[in-house]
Structure 1
């Protein structure tokens, strides 16, 4: 006949172990998927500088920015650059004036310049 106290201890140890494993899995999923990942300042600065450089090149070629077009869906790895009015206008929210790669979730970061080429934000 099995010892009932030993059986209860084994069950308790099993459930404690199972709880630890489940909590570890949940914590890992939360950390990897839901916590905002910080971008190094040097990467943000590089993206902003590259965006301004691209804007100036296009401006010299006579490109029209009055609609607030997307300048690049591939500014750098995981970055796009978009132009908008400052303050923002409804035309800036039209899909044809936004970067498709960002809208589709293919990139995580963007640089936003006003239609004069001034940095609004980069994140």
Structure 2
């Protein structure tokens, strides 16, 4: 399983890739494996300020629907529109083409887990 060291992680299995005052957010490889084949991603929070821990969308897999939790306070700037037609990108490339939202950060990300801390959390 892949745990890119440059990313930050949450206990709810989201990842954050910081780029200045913005960040990309998605779900981890561990999360997408647990969910199975993803068939639909529903995020309609563009332009909204979302607090850490709030639900910002859902992911639907063949057998379940799971909420997506905001890992850090931010304003959602963009949704990965490629997921509309190709939600399986989350399964194929969760840390690349399968990203979900781009946000403007409203606070530092130092409260998130490192790759090593996340690996320990999921028992890898």
Question: TM class by shorter-chain length?
Answer: under 0.3
| Structure ranking higher in helix proportion | 1
User: Greater relative contact order: 1 or 2 (C-alpha under 8 angstroms, separation 6 or more)?
Assistant: 2
| Structure ranking higher in strand proportion | 2
Normalising to structure 1: TM-score of the pair? 0.27
Rg (Cα) greater in structure: 1
Normalising to structure 2: TM-score of the pair? 0.27
